[in-house]
């Protein structure tokens, strides 16, 4: 007995070892089979990481697994991915692995697909990316009978997968996510049944309209299989759209040119609660506790041929009569609900499908809302004809339905509107094909958004709809402390609401007080207060706006600026705001603005021309950071300023200029100006170096200068000013960080330059010395708050002193020459007139004269040589 057990154990070990080792022997054979089958049957590029074989995992069946499969299309969808799958596995009898090419096809018993992503696509020319199976005539004859597969499936499953279908011709998108499907049955028999379970989330969009968004689908169905006749029949089944139950009955027959469909469906119950079940799951968790009255019925028929040219006839009806519902924890009820909608097609042509919403009515409190619409030509250029008549208190929405808004919603909407249009007219702004008439009004509407600090309270708005435009007859609103009124017209309201078109309009806007901070985001308001900046995204001028605003405001408050009597035109288009003839009174003067601000690029930019007339210098330079940076010294002046500026650059997230990017030019003129009593560090430093100037008496009237600014700095072209009889020329530059590099040249008369200079001038006492002056240069660097002033005054005075001494020498030399000439002339004259009577010639020196000729000569020469000696007393 022990021997038998031992032999049995050895045999089992050998079998187990063979089951473990055998896959390695067959690995290359399985890989070759898979590759051969793919190449023979598919027009696509197929790649996979590995093919594995196991005799243990599905014993006594063989288990083949293909991992990381990718199928990529050829033209016309070249390099686009059709399928990816983490794992695809098959089970089959072990003997199927030993078949040769001449034997029957390999029979697969079951398969499993894990984490597959499938993208099915049809382009506008009708090409499909999933038509990748080779036609039979394209397969070589020797391959048709070899290495192919057939299915005798007992069960299969698709797990955690997703499928997307995109039809570019109809602009239709269907997306299934979290797809799980499994089935069991016998495919090998001529007739059998397949028991299936399916669930997924579905989203459906057509022409940019989202009809379903992540709605839950599930279907448990027993499907009868007649493989000989290719007929698939729905038997015992029930499906759910969210929580709405739907039962199917009928069959689908596979034909060479399509499928013959004959299916009916309806919801087995007839309660209005079934309608609420279609809503997203987030709002139907407590569906069992909702109190409803009335009925809700979905019933449909799909019958006919589905092919490339035709669709089945459709007759689908959705009805509800005098229904109501009330959520248990909400105070109000929706009642008198009437729904009568049908979806029909009687010709089999897809373009003849239409939706008729004959009635969609309801009542909340005393507000009655009625509507109807027809939608035709759904897959091409959809035709819409709709009517709306009723009123709606927006505050009641959250009181009847469990939906939460980030901000409070309130206001009364009233309207009676008829509109008829086709979608291409909306998309192309073909206003002649958009027929809208009626009127609408809004009262006490409060709009809140994360984009603004304060809610906008629209007290009243009245609109009249004409075929081409919407007339805004009145509009009154407030936000924060700001108020505004408007009238105007909107040219493309439907295009904006139903498509991606721009909102066009022209408006006249009036305001008593308009505070820009009332329209800023909360983040910006904090940033302004804390004087901090961040790298968050700047506000953008909406791309959908294309409008002209003619504005008048008594007061506009921006930051710390109060602008009075603001008027002008603002044009908004292509994410750019253009200022046209904007004028305002500020700083006891006026300002005019033309130019633009653009947010089209990632960094906002501006390009403005400013005209300033009669600005009070102290007010403007104390309150405008830009002026302080352009000419910081000017804030020490009192008086008036005229200026024209052309300035451009980048804006930061608070729409303030980035000084490092600012460039432009300015022409400035100072009128009736004087220096403040508190002169500041710069003038104090100048006075310390130039004591002969009293800056309180500096003549600043009618000063004109030109400034150029770029690369974070300002260049000031030379300009002239005057202090009494001293002419001054100033030029230089400074940076926006207030570092200085200036030069002031003072043309100083010599009389201001000290006692020694003035003594020399008095001694010389000529017309030349009385008008003499010298240039004194003051070089100013450092910073505006800590200036450093250096002058060449000492060297200038020294040079002047030398110059005056030289002038005095020349004067004495000239005087000596004249005296020598006179003396020589006198001597010669005496010789010639010895016999003349001296009384007749007064220039002839008489023997009794005090100074002799010899003394005169000595005195002159002594003066010239500077060596005149004191006469010594003579001892007799």
To the question of pTM greater than 0.75 for the whole model, the response is no
Looking at residue 345, its pLDDT comes to 93
Rounded Cα–Cα distance for residues 825 and 856 (Å): 13
pLDDT at residue 333 tops 90: yes
CB count within 10 Å of CB 209 equals: 12
Whether omega before 76 lies within 30 degrees of 0, making that bond cis, reads: yes
Under DSSP, is residue 537 helix (H, G, I), strand (E, B) or coil? coil
Looking at residue 825, its pLDDT comes to 58
pLDDT at residue 136 tops 60: no
pLDDT at residue 677 tops 60: no
Rounded Cα–Cα distance for residues 511 and 550 (Å): 11
For 234-237, the CB contacts below 8 A with 24+ separation are: 234/263, 235/193
Under DSSP, is residue 42 helix (H, G, I), strand (E, B) or coil? strand
Looking at residue 16, its pLDDT comes to 38
Q: Which residue has the tokens 């897959």?
A: 379
Ranking 201-215, 291-305, 412-426, 719-733 by mean pLDDT, the lowest is 201-215
Rounded Cα–Cα distance for residues 114 and 859 (Å): 129
Domain edges within the chain: 810-865
- Model confidence pLDDT, tens digit, residues 253-279: 988 888 899 999 998 877 888 788 777
Ranking 419-428, 470-479, 587-596 by mean pLDDT, the lowest is 419-428
Q: How confident is the model at residue 3 (pLDDT cuts 50, 70, 90)?
A: very low
Give buried/exposed letters for 761-800 (b at 16+ CB in 10 A, else e). beebeeeebeebbbebebebebbbeebebebebeebbeeb
Under DSSP, is residue 245 helix (H, G, I), strand (E, B) or coil? strand
Percent over 90 (pLDDT), the chain: 18
**Comparison of pLDDT for 757 and 565, the residue scoring more:** 565
pLDDT at residue 303 tops 90: yes
- Residue 478 phi/psi, 5-degree rounding, is -140, 150
Rounded Cα–Cα distance for residues 768 and 761 (Å): 9
Q: What is the number of residues in the chain?
A: 876
pLDDT at residue 816 tops 70: no
Looking at residue 343, its pLDDT comes to 94
pLDDT at residue 867 tops 60: no
- Model confidence pLDDT, tens digit, residues 385-406: 999 999 999 888 888 888 777 6
Under DSSP, is residue 522 helix (H, G, I), strand (E, B) or coil? helix
CA 193: distance to chain centroid?
58
Q: Please, where are the H alpha helices in 667-738?
A: 680-689
**Secondary structure letter of residue 134 according to DSSP:** P
- Model confidence pLDDT, tens digit, residues 71-105: 888 888 888 888 898 988 878 777 766 665 455 66
Rounded Cα–Cα distance for residues 811 and 771 (Å): 17
Looking at residue 21, its pLDDT comes to 42
- Model confidence pLDDT, tens digit, residues 48-74: 787 777 766 666 677 778 888 888 888
Q: How confident is the model at residue 347 (pLDDT cuts 50, 70, 90)?
A: very high
Q: How confident is the model at residue 114 (pLDDT cuts 50, 70, 90)?
A: very high
Under DSSP, is residue 655 helix (H, G, I), strand (E, B) or coil? coil
Which contiguous run of DSSP H or E holds residue 675? strand 663-675
**Comparison of pLDDT for 871 and 300, the residue scoring more:** 300
Looking at residue 751, its pLDDT comes to 75
């Amino acid at each position: 007995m022990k021997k038998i057990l031992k032999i049995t154990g050895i045999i089992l070990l050998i079998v187990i070892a063979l089951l473990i080792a055998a896959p390695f022997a067959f690995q290359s054979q399985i890989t070759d089979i898979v590759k051969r089958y793919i190449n023979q049957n598919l027009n696509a590029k197929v790649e996979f990481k590995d093919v594995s074989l196991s005799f243990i995992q599905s014993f006594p069946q063989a288990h083949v697994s293909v991992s990381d499969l990718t199928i990529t299309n050829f033209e016309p969808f070249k390099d686009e991915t059709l399928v990816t799958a983490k794992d695809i596995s098959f089970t089959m009898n072990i003997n199927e692995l030993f078949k040769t090419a001449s034997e029957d096809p390999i029979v697969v018993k079951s398969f499993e697909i894990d984490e597959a992503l499938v993208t099915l696509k049809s382009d506008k020319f009708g090409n499909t990316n999933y038509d990748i199976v080779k036609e039979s005539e394209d397969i070589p004859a020797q391959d048709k009978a070899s290495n192919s597969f057939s299915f005798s499936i007992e069960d299969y499953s698709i797990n955690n997968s997703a499928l997307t279908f995109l039809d570019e011709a109809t602009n239709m998108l269907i997306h299934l996510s979290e797809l799980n499907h499994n089935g069991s049955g016998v495919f090998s028999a001529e007739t059998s049944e397949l028991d299936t379970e399916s669930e997924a989330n579905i989203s459906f969009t057509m022409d940019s309209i989202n009809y379903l968004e992540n709605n839950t689908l599930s279907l448990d169905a027993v499907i009868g299989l007649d493989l000989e006749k290719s007929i698939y029949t729905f038997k015992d089944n029930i499906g759910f759209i969210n929580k709405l139950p739907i039962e199917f009955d009928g069959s689908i027959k596979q034909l060479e040119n399509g499928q013959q469909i004959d299916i009916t469906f309806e919801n087995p119950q007839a309660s209005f609660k079934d309608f609420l079940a279609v809503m997203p799951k987030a709002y139907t968790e407590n569906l069992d506790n909702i109190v409803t009255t009335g009925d809700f019925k979905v019933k449909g028929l799909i019958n006919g041929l589905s092919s490339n040219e035709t669709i089945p006839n459709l007759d689908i009806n959705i009805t509800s009569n005098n229904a109501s519902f009330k959520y248990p924890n909400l105070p109000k009820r929706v009642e008198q609900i009437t729904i009568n909608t049908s979806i029909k097609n009687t010709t089999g042509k897809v373009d003849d499908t239409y939706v008729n919403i004959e009635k969609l009515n309801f009542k909340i409190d005393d507000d009655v809302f009625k509507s109807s619409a027809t939608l035709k030509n759904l897959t091409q250029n959809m035709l819409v004809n709709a009517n709306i008549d009723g009123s709606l208190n927006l505050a009641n929405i959250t009181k009847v339905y469990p939906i939460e808004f980030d901000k409070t919603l309130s206001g009364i909407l009233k309207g009676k509107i008829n509109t008829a249009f086709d979608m291409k007219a909306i998309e192309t702004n073909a206003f002649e094909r958009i027929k809208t008439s009626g009127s609408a009004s809004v009262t006490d509407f409060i709009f809140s958004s994360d984009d603004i600090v304060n809610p906008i309270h629209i007290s009243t708005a009245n609109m009249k709809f004409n075929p081409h435009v919407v007339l805004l007859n009145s509009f009154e609103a407030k936000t924060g402390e700001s108020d505004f009124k408007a009238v105007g017209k909107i040219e493309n309201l439907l295009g904006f609401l139903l498509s991606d078109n721009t909102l066009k309009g022209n408006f006249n806007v009036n305001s008593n007080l308009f505070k820009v901070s009332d329209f800023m985001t909360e983040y910006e308001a904090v940033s302004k207060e804390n004087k901090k900046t961040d790298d968050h995204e700047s506000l953008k001028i909406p791309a959908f706006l294309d409008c002209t605003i003619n504005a008048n405001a008594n007061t506009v408050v921006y930051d710390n600026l109060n602008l009075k009597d603001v008027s002008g035109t603002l044009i908004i288009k292509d994410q750019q705001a253009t200022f046209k003839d904007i004028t305002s009174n500020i700083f006891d003067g006026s300002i005019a603005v033309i130019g633009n601000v653009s947010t089209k690029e990632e960094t906002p930019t501006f390009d403005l021309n400013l005209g300033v007339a009669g600005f009070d210098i102290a007010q403007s330079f104390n309150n405008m950071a830009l002026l302080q940076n352009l000419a910081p010294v000017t804030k020490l002046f009192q008086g008036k300023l005229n200026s024209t500026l052309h300035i451009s650059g980048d804006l930061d997230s608070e729409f303030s200029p980035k000084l490092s990017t600012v460039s432009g030019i300015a022409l400035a003129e100072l009128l009736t100006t004087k220096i403040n009593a508190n002169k500041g560090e710069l003038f104090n430093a100048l006075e310390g170096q130039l004591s002969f100037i009293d800056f309180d008496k500096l003549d600043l009237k009618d000063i004109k200068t030109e400034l150029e600014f770029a690369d974070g700095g300002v260049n000031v072209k030379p300009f002239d000013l005057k202090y009494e009889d001293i002419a001054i020329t100033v030029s230089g530059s400074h940076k926006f960080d207030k570092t200085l590099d200036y030069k002031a040249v003072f043309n100083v008369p010599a009389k201001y330059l000290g006692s020694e200079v003035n003594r020399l001038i008095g001694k010389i006492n000529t017309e030349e010395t009385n008008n003499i002056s010298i240039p004194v240069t003051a070089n100013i660097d450092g910073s505006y708050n800590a200036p450093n002033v250096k002058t060449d005054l000492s060297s200038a005075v020294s040079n002047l002193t030398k110059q005056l001494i030289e002038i005095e020498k020349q004067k004495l030399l000239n005087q000596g020459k004249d005296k020598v000439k006179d003396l020589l002339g006198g001597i010669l004259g005496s010789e010639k007139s010895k016999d003349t009577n001296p009384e007749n010639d007064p220039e002839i020196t008489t023997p009794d004269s005090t100074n002799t000729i010899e003394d005169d000569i000595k005195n002159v020469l002594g003066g010239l040589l500077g060596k005149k000696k004191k006469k010594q007393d003579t001892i007799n």
